[in-house]
Amino acid sequence: MTQGCVSLQRRLQYWTGGLTTPHDLAGKALIHDLSVDTHTGFATWGDWLLRAGAPEVDTSRSMQVNNSAAVLQAAIDGHGVALARSVMACDDVAAGWLVPLFPGIKLASELAYYVVYRAKCASQSKLVAFRERLMQEATPC
């Protein structure tokens, strides 16, 4: 699972000069998701900005929301730029409500799910179908 920065597409035209580099996030409202536990591997704006080469961007001008879905909705409503897990933002991106600002800058998550089973069962058709379906669902847009 990766994490990326997303914002409402129509909102970009209202921000003077647009957002072409991560440094352009300076002075913009950044939406923080307080519902994720940063101690278990979820990225913060500070993590993302460091990876993006813009650690000096001040993250204090922000909105703090305690619900991942509400974070995305706040970005859709034009309240700022959200840091979101790809799997969470996928449908909104596909619908055109959100756009990845910097698609080349993503953070790999340390969090993962594992499909475990007995080795002797690996070739069972039901298990193979289930495993393939899970992998399709888990693959971000």
Instruction: Give the other-Cβ count within 10 Å of 33's Cβ.
Output: 25
Would you list the domain boundaries of the chain?
2-108
- Write down the pLDDT at residue 73: 92
Distance (Å, whole) CA 140 – CA 133: 13
Distances (CA, A) of 31 to 27, 58, 76, 98, 136: 12, 13, 11, 14, 29
The per-residue pLDDT for 5 is 57
Give me the helix-helix angle, 68-76 and 86-94, nearest 10°. 30
Predicted local confidence at residue 1, as pLDDT:
40
106 close to 47: Cβ distance less than 8 angstroms: no
CA distance 109 to 106: 9
Q: Where are the beta strands (DSSP E) in the chain?
A: 2-8, 30-33, 62-65, 81-85, 98-100, 107-108
pLDDT for residue 2: 44
Per-residue pLDDT of the chain (141 residues; tens, 9 = 90+): 445 556 655 566 656 567 788 998 898 889 999 888 766 778 889 989 999 999 999 998 789 999 999 999 998 888 888 988 888 888 888 888 888 888 888 877 777 678 889 999 999 999 999 999 988 877 666
* Domain at 2-108: CATH code: 3.40.190.10
Q: Are 86 and 4 in contact (CB under 8 A)?
A: yes
pLDDT of 124 = 95
